[in-house]
Amino acid sequence: MLWVKSFHIVFVASWFAGLFYLPRIFVNLAMVEQGSEAERARLLLMSRKLMRFTTLLSIPALILGVWLWWGYGIGLGPGNGWMNAKFVIVALVLGYHHACGRLLRKFERGEVQRGHVWFRWFNEIPVVLLLVAVILVVVKPF
């Protein structure tokens, strides 16, 4: 199980790297000036590729996480409330990932109405989610 745990950590870290950087590209897209079509096209291409890669990284992260949950039997019995909270965090991360995909499609259609400051704040969400997930797994507060 240590191999499974190791690979789970690597894929989660890689998935989050994409979730940290993709919204940063959105900040840059929101700052593109009118008429800068080459810059916009380049940033959209980067966003599409990163979104695809990040999605591919999320799949083994989730599969290995389920494998760990099932293999260790975590969440069954008293003292494992932290795992239920972690499931909520994972659901929020998946929702954030989905929101990034929706925002990318809006950028592609030119429908984004939000400014770069909003995207700077949006970019901080995965940091908070990762922090909470790590605390839940390491500290197991409940």
pLDDT at position 28, please?
97
pLDDT digits 0-9 by tens, 70-104: 887 776 667 788 998 999 999 999 999 999 999 99
Average pLDDT over residues 51-60: 98
pLDDT digits 0-9 by tens, 94-103: 999 999 999 9
pTM for the structure as a whole: 0.94
Q: Where are the domains of the chain?
A: 2-139
pLDDT at position 77, please?
67
pLDDT digits 0-9 by tens, 102-121: 999 999 999 999 999 999 99
pLDDT at position 71, please?
84
pLDDT digits 0-9 by tens, 121-137: 999 999 999 999 999 99
Average pLDDT, the chain: 95
Long-range contacts: 52-57, Cβ < 8 Å, 24+? 53/18, 54/15, 54/18, 54/19, 54/22, 54/97, 54/100, 55/97, 55/101, 57/11, 57/14, 57/15, 57/18
